[in-house]
């Protein structure tokens, strides 16, 4: 083979193998840092995070996040095709193109990728999400997501967020506090769980009702 062909094969092998190796590693080891943390740090934010096991996070928080972000998390295989179809139909009918990302996809994005939207990034995200669903349990996906997701500028993970907003450990979050935290996720740089807008208060009310309606859809953690 020519040199450039060998280099191309080597590059493809790295692109395929490196994510698999990292996902296998992070199945057991807490990720030390994410691209978003480094980006925020370059923007002047610190990195406030403290890893805690899923068992040390109040069950109210994963319930609220699933109710807010991905109702079918416990039963889909990384992608919610029903929500994707609805989003496409809405866009074709002239509506805005809304997100249909699952918690698995958001975990892939937060763990490995950059925040800007593009078709290239979404394609890589889909590949990584498929690997996560194949190699990790639902509990591990939730555990990693809840430990790396951004809840304010420089504040990452359930423990840091619970201390930052409510002055308590994540293990002691009430259902109301968890619901308010979930309302922050779409825009953590401009929303607050301890000083919510009226829209967030209304959304938290909806989430608390929805949690009671999801029933067995919350049985995977």
Q: What is the pLDDT of residue 166?
A: 98
Q: Which residue has the tokens 């308010």?
A: 180
* pLDDT tens column, 90-116: 555 565 555 579 999 999 999 999 887
Domain boundaries, the chain: 3-218
How does residue 6 score in pLDDT terms, banded at 50, 70 and 90? confident
Fold observed for domain 3-218: Penicillin binding protein transpeptidase fold (1.10.3810)
- Average pLDDT value for the chain: 91
Which of 152, 149, 163 is closest to 45 using CA atoms? 152
In sequence order, what are the beta bridge partners of 4?
none
CB atoms within 10 A of CB 95: 10
140 or 2, higher pLDDT: 140
Q: What is the pLDDT of residue 147?
A: 98
The answer to whether 52 and 159 have CB atoms below 8 angstroms apart is yes
The answer to whether 138 and 221 have CB atoms below 8 angstroms apart is yes
Q: What is the pLDDT of residue 94?
A: 61
Q: For 115-147, give one letter per residue: b (16+ CB within 10 A) or e.
A: eeeeeeeeebbeebbbbbbeebebebbbbbbbb
Which of 142, 198, 212 is closest to 170 using CA atoms? 142
128 or 97, higher pLDDT: 128
The answer to whether 126 and 79 have CB atoms below 8 angstroms apart is yes
Strand arrangement of the beta sheet that strand 150-152 belongs to = 48-49, 155-156, 150-152
- Residue 122 CA neighbour count, 13 Å, CB half: 9
Q: How many percent of the chain have pLDDT more than 90? A: 76
């Amino acid at each position: 083979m020519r040199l450039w062909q060998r280099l191309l094969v080597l590059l493809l092998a790295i692109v395929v193998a490196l994510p698999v190796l990292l996902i296998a590693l992070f199945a057991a080891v807490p990720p030390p840092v994410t691209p978003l943390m480094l980006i925020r740090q370059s923007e002047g934010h610190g990195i406030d995070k403290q890893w805690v096991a899923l068992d040390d996070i109040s069950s109210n928080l994963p319930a609220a996040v699933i109710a807010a972000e991905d109702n079918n998390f416990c039963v889909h295989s990384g992608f919610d095709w029903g929500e994707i179809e609805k989003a496409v139909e809405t866009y074709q009918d002239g509506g805005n193109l809304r997100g249909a990302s699952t918690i698995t996809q958001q975990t892939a994005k937060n763990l490995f990728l950059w925040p800007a939207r593009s078709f290239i990034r979404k394609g890589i995200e889909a590949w990584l999400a498929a690997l996560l669903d194949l190699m990790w349990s639902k509990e591990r996906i939730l555990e990693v997501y809840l430990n790396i997701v951004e809840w304010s500028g420089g504040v990452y993970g359930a423990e840091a967020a619970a201390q930052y907003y409510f002055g308590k450990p994540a293990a002691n979050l009430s259902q109301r506090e968890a619901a308010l935290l979930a309302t922050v996720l779409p825009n953590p740089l401009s929303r607050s769980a301890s000083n919510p807008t009226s829209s967030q208060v209304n959304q938290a009310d909806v989430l608390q009702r929805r949690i009671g309606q999801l029933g067995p859809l919350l049985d995977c953690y």
